[in-house]
A and B are shown apart, each in its own frame.
Chain A
Amino acid sequence: MEKILEVRDLHVTFHTYAGEVQAVRGVNFEVGKGEAIGIVGESGCGKSVTAQSILKLLPQPPVQYKQGSILFNGQDLLKKSEKEMEKVRGKEISMIFQDPMTSLNPTMTVGKQIAEGLTKHHKMSAAAAHKRAVELLEMVGIPQPERRVNQYPHEFSGGMRQRAMIAIALACQPQLLIADEPTTALDVTIQAQILELMKELQKKLGTSIILITHDLGVVADMCERVIVMYAGKVVESGTVDEIFYNPQHPYTKGLLRSVPRLDQNRNEPLTPIYGTPPDLLKPPAGCGYAARCESAMRVCQLYDPKLDMVRSNHQSACWLHHPLAQGKTGS
């Protein structure tokens, strides 16, 4: 598959009064053309920072891109100037945020916000952009688009705002869409509508999608590949089937076990992951998960495991896969 995005050894840090927080510590992944990948993990594992780094949305300082590269169609986005990035944002790569109320401009009509990108990137006239905005609202399933286009975000319901945000994101037909928890603030029936819409648009426009979520069900529904992040690193990645049916990393196993299945018996207790993620001000020398891991060995405290091929379509970073750890079984 043709690669559209390659993230190589990305390190992102935040300067704080307490010191340097190492939010992302050497992340590697790639996205193919037309592919939907999911990034999952607990709050604070670095998934949003990774995503926002792709568009360089984080203010520098306090953020510093320490190392690595983000290749988009072969060009390193981290080397681009702010001016060059403005040509990428919204045109080549777009983003949908979690909270549609705070990420839309309350003082601008929805139509204007959709048209903004079109007039800027495609040099469309205001009238043509307005017409296109109506078409886009219709495409994302908003009834009476001619009337709605002149309304303000507060006149829209939560689901409609998220649809409007998708319309803004897709206005210039970007090659890559980053969706950061796009349905977390929505009710399940509205979530189903939005996911259905994203799938349809992915098929129709061939857009690649990076979906960030903590809902494993949403990933199973939407994505072809999954990346599991923990403490600023990728701990496991693979196709959805591999991750859900053949998870290798104890953290992934833990995540999958802590959600009840619909067929789960009420008498068997859920299996939570005890403890909390490490403080990334002083990240541990060894595996970030070692302190919470049931199968942790001495080596886990001392050295950080590298991502190993488990199968051709599956990688995992755990010392249990090492030949010397054979015979020990993961939980």
Chain B
Amino acid sequence: MGTQTQETLIEVRNLKKFFKVGGQTLKAVNDISFTINRGETLGVVGESGCGKSTAGRTILRLYEPTAGEVIFEGKNISKLQGSELKAMRRNMQMIFQDPYASLNPRMTVGDIIGEALDIHGLATGQERKERIQELLSLVSLNPGHIDRFPHEFSGGQRQRIGIARALAVEPKFIVCDEPISALDVSVQAQVVNLLEQLQEKMGLTYMFIAHDLSMVKYISDRVAVMYLGKMVELAESEKLYEKPLHPYTQALLSAIPIPDPEVERKRERIVLQGDVPSPMNPPSGCHFRTRCPKAMPECAAMEPVWKEVEPGHFTACHLYN
């Protein structure tokens, strides 16, 4: 999208987030490290329960990290408290998956967007109203609809309200957690185009979490693949789709149905056997080995190391050690 720079905006170091569930520990995010450059879109893909949403929320400090650090513009934000934390939150926002559940049905659109302005004391009175109207037109909604309630809008329009709310505080970084999964295909394209325009206009940085791999490829500069709390591969999106290294990425890509009958007929699919194991009790060594068509004896014995196999192309797999 042309806005990508080489300057690091966010650095995630050995981030862990564990949950206590009935006496056991669920390792939702288990030691992931990566950076996101300013103006970049980093796509994160993986199956449900792989920890992609938890990773996004932990980076934003919506969850307290169990271990590890998040460095935002050179500042460690994982220990911030009080007013410092609040000031930091202005820089980082989130867009949620379900446009029906993430908007308060008893609040008007104006108040939903205005709440962010109130919390951070950015505008009051007439100025507040003008700012909300400006935000509504920014996401191509009618500014005259400021006093309407969420139920009066369609799914795609509600997602635009969610975007306007995130933009109200002029953030630098937005975690988009499956922002289009609940929308019809014809509407998905509208929201994706809007996100891209806004990125260009405002120099935003996105972490785009999704399970629709073709949409992720389209919107992302780089893509990270997660499996059972671990990151298994990270590369530029073109490269990842052309030459996936990790067997899980290969299987995931081959599982996407392509809207082209000719291609579908010729395709050889890698169909993984079984389900994702429980994250409460993941397999020893490489977590993917129980479903991996290329598993070797050492995969059970040792956890593979996260390493840069080619410039900018990271993976954690014993095949490349």
Contact = CB atoms under 8 A, between A and B. Distances in A.
A214 B217 contact: no
Nearest to A275: B186
Contacts of B193: 269-270, 272
Contacts of A294: none
Q: Which are the 6 A-B pairs with shortest beta-carbon distances? A: A217-B257, A272-B189, A270-B189, A216-B259, A273-B186, A260-B218
A276 to B, nearest CB: 6
Contact of A221 (B185, B257, B272): B257
A261 B271 contact: no
B55 interface: no
B214 interface: yes
Contacts of B47: 187-190
Contacts of B262: 241, 245
Contacts of A191: 255, 257
Interface string B231-274: 00000000001000000000110111111111110000101111
A324 interface: no
Contact of B271 (A193, A215, A216, A272): A193
A302 interface: no
B62 interface: no
Given A272-B186, A276-B154, A266 B272 contact: no
B284 interface: no
Nearest to B278: A157
Given A189-B251, A219-B259, 19 more contacts: A160-B275, A188-B211, A190-B47, A192-B272, A193-B273, A196-B271, A217-B256, A217-B257, A218-B257, A220-B261, A240-B261, A244-B261, A258-B186, A260-B214, A261-B214, A261-B258, A262-B258, A266-B219, A267-B1
Contacts of A195: 257
A259 interface: yes
A239 B181 CA distance: 28
A271 B269 contact: no
Interface string B141-185: 000000000000010000000000000000000000000000011
A154 B269 CA distance: 30
Question: What secondary structure prevails in chain B residues at the interface with A?
Answer: helix
B187 A272 contact: yes
Interface in A183-224: 187-193, 195-196, 214-221
Nearest to A219: B259
For chain B, the bracket of interface size reads 35 or more
Nearest to A159: B275
Nearest to B50: A187
Interface in B266-304: 269, 271-276
A308 interface: no
Contacts of A269: 193, 196
B258 A270 contact: no
Contacts of B215: 260
A215, A220, A262 — most chain B CB neighbours (10 Å): A262
A259 B272 contact: no
A143 B264 CA distance: 28
Interface in A241-261: 241, 244-245, 254-256, 258-261
A266 B254 CA distance: 21
A260 B185 contact: no
B259 A261 contact: yes
B233 to A, nearest CB: 15
A42 interface: yes
Interface residues of A, number: 46
B313 to A, nearest CB: 19
B91 interface: no
Contacts of A103: none
21 contacts: A42-B185, A158-B48, A159-B275, A188-B252, A189-B251, A192-B271, A215-B257, A216-B259, A217-B264, A220-B258, A220-B260, A220-B264, A244-B260, A255-B185, A258-B188, A260-B217, A261-B260, A262-B256, A264-B218, A266-B219, A273-B189
B213 interface: yes
User: Could you say which of B188, B251, B275 has the most chain A C-beta atoms within 10 Å of its C-beta?
Assistant: B275
A137 to B, nearest CB: 15
A126 B35 CA distance: 60
B213 A188 contact: yes
Nearest to A226: B261
Interface string A43-66: 100000000000000000000000
A169 B192 CA distance: 38
Contacts of A244: 259-261
Contacts of B48: 158, 187
A166 to B, nearest CB: 16
B198 to A, nearest CB: 13
A190 B275 contact: yes
A274 interface: yes
A218 B256 CA distance: 9
Interface in A70-115: none
B275 A262 contact: no
Contact of A220 (B187, B214, B217, B259): B259
A251 B63 CA distance: 43
B190 interface: yes
B186 A254 contact: yes
Given A187-B47, A196-B269, A214 B185 contact: yes
B153 to A, nearest CB: 10
